Structure 1
Amino acid sequence: MTVDRRSVLRSTARLAALTAAGGLVAACGDDTTGPAPGQASFAARAQPSHLNTVGPAATGAPAVASGSPTAAPGAGAGASASTQPTPGAPPASPPLAVNTPDEVVNGPRDRKQVALTFHGQGDPALATAILAAAEQHGARLTVMVVGSWLDQQPAMARRILDGGHELGNHTQNHLDISTMTPQQAHDEIAQCAERLQKLTGSIGRWFRPSAAQYANAMVREQAKLVGYQHCLSFDVDPRDYTDPGADVVQRRLLKAVSGGSVVALHMGHKGTADALPGILAGLAGMGLSAVTASQLCA
């Protein structure tokens, strides 16, 4: 896959890495010339082709480790023709910037774009309303799904992708992954990856730890073993999960957001669904558009 190195030049600010949970995290598109301590250079790794999140998985992709399904079409556990991506799926997500860090907190600050990322769980009617509102405003979302939710609502995976949005892995059961053993953490990540692979033909590009803003070193290592080169954190959290009401969610978000922000939101809350049209209108008034995390980091 050809990496678009011109995207690196679009980042004009060097963003300091944040030290958290035993590892370094940073902004995608940071123009640092070398890897942070303890991190491999992104340029030294080939981006797996199966991590294109909104299109059919590419053939010949590497396998998911330790008993999880391979990422190539038809190779997942229990995979069959009926579990492959539907014809006419949206185009694949763009390649990431060459120096995208292991854990992304925000995108380049000089861009007039933000990534609205959603915890994928809860009432499917609310999830569908959020997707529809985003599409009406021309916005694209990144949904970090919980695998047990996909077990209950398998049609939501295709609904998300068919709307031009992006799917990522937010563990199988949304437990506190930072307190788990390495094997337990691996299983939580791999089981959700298996659901994604079976339903869409891809494990997705991004992993986000459950019950933690940042992935610690152990969790990052297990995510890589499953096939995720990048974890997705966030720099804006309006705490919509506390159900403060749509007006409060909207006000908190718009006060904190800026170009390049990655925002953490939750699908299973009515206040969030009610707030989204106003959030998107407010972003537009600030000259900001909502794109997927992959688009923000391209």
Structure 2
Amino acid sequence: MNPIDRRGLLRAVGLGAVGAAAAACAGRGRAAPAASSPGPASPPPSPSPPPGPSATATASTPAPMPLLPADLPFQVSSGPRDSSKVALTFHGQGSADIAEALLAEAASAGARVTVLAVGTWLDDQPQMARRILDAGHELGNHTLSHGNLAAMGADAAYAEIAGCAERLERLTGSKGRWLRPSQTEYCTPTVMAQARRAGYEHCLGYDVDSLDYTDPGPTAIHRNVMDRIRPGSVVSLHFGHRGTVLALPAILQDLEARGLRAVTASELFG
């Protein structure tokens, strides 16, 4: 039995019944500018004591994040190609059980990830915000309700971005560094302007799409990632999909075999 099937069956037993799958984040845009060379980095965040079940505004002060190069473009989709780092980024939505299973797989491999959270998901699962950060991962903004951000007017786009930012700040003390627009890969000029208005300096795209939101099965997800990934890649994955849980152990194992290390987006670019 291959690693996906063996680990997947074991994990499937632990998952039990799962929630509905997260909405797809499909869409393509214009090619993004290449990222700049990395700058100096600060020490990684230190874990904080976990909050109570309500996960309200009693969050601790966020630890410093790695510094980013001053000339890093607003839109970034991949990091330095001469490094051994890659960023696995997850669209945060769906069942808490699946989110916990994915975080457990990352922890077992010593991987750090970036979760771009949907605001309404944080309303439903407020404890996940500190859970992600306290495990050494990174949290960012994937809009309030996961609408088609590129099709919205300026005020509606701002409300989507600012609404999620408010929830992130209330739950963790920080609105996060990265915005990933929903239902589109790149920030349009309108979205860029409203992101800056909401305090975001960078839009995080990706150069590897796992297509896991289409539920093609763990073998296809693994193949979609490993056929395209290379040093500096940013990979798009999703919470809320059982196949992603089953595919992740083999993805992490193969990254290690290739000498690649999964880090947060800030660690990749910083």
Q: Does 1:136 align with 2:108?
A: yes
Residue in 2 that maps onto 1:25: 32
* Percent identity between the two aligned chains: 50
Q: Runs (4+) of structure 1 moved beyond 3 Å?
A: 52-56
After TM superposition, the score normalised by the length of structure 1 is 0.74
Q: Does 1:94 align with 2:87?
A: no
Q: Secondary structure at the match of 1:25?
A: coil
Contact 1:213 1:233 in 2 (8 A): yes
After TM superposition, the score normalised by the length of structure 2 is 0.81
Alpha-carbon distance, 1:29 to partner: 2.2
Segments of 5+ residues of structure 1 without an aligned counterpart are 1-19, 32-51, 57-80
Residue in 1 that maps onto 2:245: 273
Residue in 1 that maps onto 2:57: 83
Pick one of 68, 71, 76 that aligns with 1:104: 76
Q: Does 1:150 align with 2:157?
A: no
Pick one of 127, 130, 137 that aligns with 2:99: 127
**CA–CA distance in structure 2, aligned partners of residues 167 and 246 of structure 1:** 25
Alpha-carbon distance, 1:84 to partner: 3.4
**How many residues align structurally?**
232
Contact 1:21 1:217 in 2 (8 A): no
Residues 228-266 of structure 1 show CA distances to partners (whole Å, capped at 9, x for unaligned) of 000000000020001011111011101100000000000
**CA–CA distance in structure 2, aligned partners of residues 93 and 118 of structure 1:** 19
**CA–CA distance in structure 1, aligned partners of residues 91 and 248 of structure 2:** 14
Q: Secondary structure at the match of 1:263?
A: strand
Alpha-carbon distance, 1:21 to partner: 4.9
Residue in 2 that maps onto 1:296: 268
- 2:35 maps to a residue whose letter is C
Contact 2:46 2:134 in 1 (8 A): no
- 2:265 maps to a residue whose letter is A
Pick one of 165, 179, 203 that aligns with 2:137: 165
Alpha-carbon distance, 1:85 to partner: 2.4
Contact 1:54 1:167 in 2 (8 A): no
**CA–CA distance in structure 2, aligned partners of residues 197 and 266 of structure 1:** 22
- 2:110 maps to a residue whose letter is G
Residue in 2 that maps onto 1:14: none
Contact 2:46 2:136 in 1 (8 A): no
Residue in 2 that maps onto 1:235: 207
RMSD: 2.2
Contact 2:149 2:182 in 1 (8 A): yes
Residue in 1 that maps onto 2:182: 210
Residue in 2 that maps onto 1:255: 227
Residues 167-191 of structure 1 show CA distances to partners (whole Å, capped at 9, x for unaligned) of 0000000000111010000000000
Q: Secondary structure at the match of 2:227?
A: helix
Segments of 5+ residues of structure 2 without an aligned counterpart are 1-27, 48-54
Residues 204-240 of structure 1 show CA distances to partners (whole Å, capped at 9, x for unaligned) of 0000100001110000110000000000000000200
Contact 2:129 2:171 in 1 (8 A): yes
